[in-house]
Copies of this chain bind each other. A is one copy, B any other.
């Protein structure tokens, strides 16, 4: 497969990451393209196609050696139809048939995948999960996303929206989530929610050095909360513990649901390093049952922001090798 090549595209609200990989996962070329949502989907898909052609040129890969294309995008989506559905961060892209549009321009069979699933597949293929058969990934950013691999395959659910793991409910009638539900883990442990809980505590008059940062900057970042926790601020510490506890709780639940060998954490929040990871691990050990030894590893992702386009390309490789019916149009 080293002489066959695959494009991976990771669509985000700010940037699109595009890469050309060989079938073993070697990155031949990679580029970041601004999304510029205001220019609309047709302009974007033109620029995506152009960027892909440039990558092939740059890597001296002839087009007949390029076999397929994988696209990761925020959900919800219809994988079957290759269509974006209702993207909060990408107004104007609703009901856009991204897969067909890019497939047609590049004359390549393509697949469309949820971006968290694509990142999950990237880590499973070449990153933290490369030795696992069963893994779960949580993306910790503005929101919380997820991906689940069972027996070496991503799961998609009955309507392509499985693994929306940020919306597992961890507290009955709990905090309001932006999704409309109450008590979602996202409402406690996303970067946004971590900051929101800190600001609420400050507004309730709790003493903390975060107050000064908040006053000076007019705002508070998730990094500030973690930095103050690391520096020993008791309130920041409490807030970070709340985040870690919520994440540990869904690790315990996932342990009992799909029983992965490992849970991989990724997204902006993992920059907090051991301040986050050690707490999640230690709360997990404290919370999980002791009926049976539980050799589940909780660790950080290894591919950083590249996981999305690597995973998208990897899904194209996997489909090309094992499930050609997943590529559209199949048999191109």
Instruction: Report whether A256 and B182 are in contact in the complex, using a CB–CB cutoff of 8 Å.
Output: no
Q: Contact string, A157-190, partner B, CB cutoff 8 A, digits 1/0?
A: 1111111110111111000000111110000000
Instruction: Report whether B133 and A158 are in contact in the complex, using a CB–CB cutoff of 8 Å.
Output: yes
Instruction: Report whether B86 and A291 are in contact in the complex, using a CB–CB cutoff of 8 Å.
Output: yes
Is A260's beta carbon under 8 Å from chain B?
yes
Is A1's beta carbon under 8 Å from chain B?
no
Chain B residue at minimum C-beta to C-beta distance from A167? B256
CA distance A257 to B86 in the complex (A): 19
Instruction: Report whether A170 and B169 are in contact in the complex, using a CB–CB cutoff of 8 Å.
Output: yes
> CB within 8 A of A292: which of B86, B155, B252, B257?
B86
Instruction: Report whether B168 and A256 are in contact in the complex, using a CB–CB cutoff of 8 Å.
Output: yes
Instruction: Report whether B179 and A291 are in contact in the complex, using a CB–CB cutoff of 8 Å.
Output: yes
> CB within 8 A of A257: which of B76, B85, B252, B257?
B257
CA distance A289 to B161 in the complex (A): 13
Taking the closest CB of chain B, its distance from the CB of A243, in whole angstroms, is 12
Taking the closest CB of chain B, its distance from the CB of A268, in whole angstroms, is 22
For A259, list chain B residues within 8 Å (CB). 156-162
For A167, list chain B residues within 8 Å (CB). 252-253, 256, 289
Instruction: Report whether A249 and B172 are in contact in the complex, using a CB–CB cutoff of 8 Å.
Output: yes
> CB within 8 A of A169: which of B164, B179, B252?
B252
Interface centre among A132, A148, A162, A261 (most CB of B within 10 A): A162
Q: Contact string, A253-276, partner B, CB cutoff 8 A, digits 1/0?
A: 110111111000000000000000
For A134, list chain B residues within 8 Å (CB). 157-158
CA distance A245 to B169 in the complex (A): 12
For A180, list chain B residues within 8 Å (CB). 289-291
* Contact A172/B171 with A181-B287, A257-B163 known, Cβ cut-off 8 Å: yes
Instruction: Report whether A287 and B157 are in contact in the complex, using a CB–CB cutoff of 8 Å.
Output: no
What are 10 sample pairs from A and B whose C-beta atoms fall under 8 A apart? A148-B257, A155-B258, A158-B261, A161-B259, A169-B252, A171-B172, A172-B245, A172-B249, A179-B291, A257-B257
Which residues on A are within 8 Å of B, measured CB to CB?
Answer: 76, 85-86, 132-134, 148, 150-151, 155-165, 167-172, 179-183, 245-246, 249, 252-254, 256-261, 287-292, 295
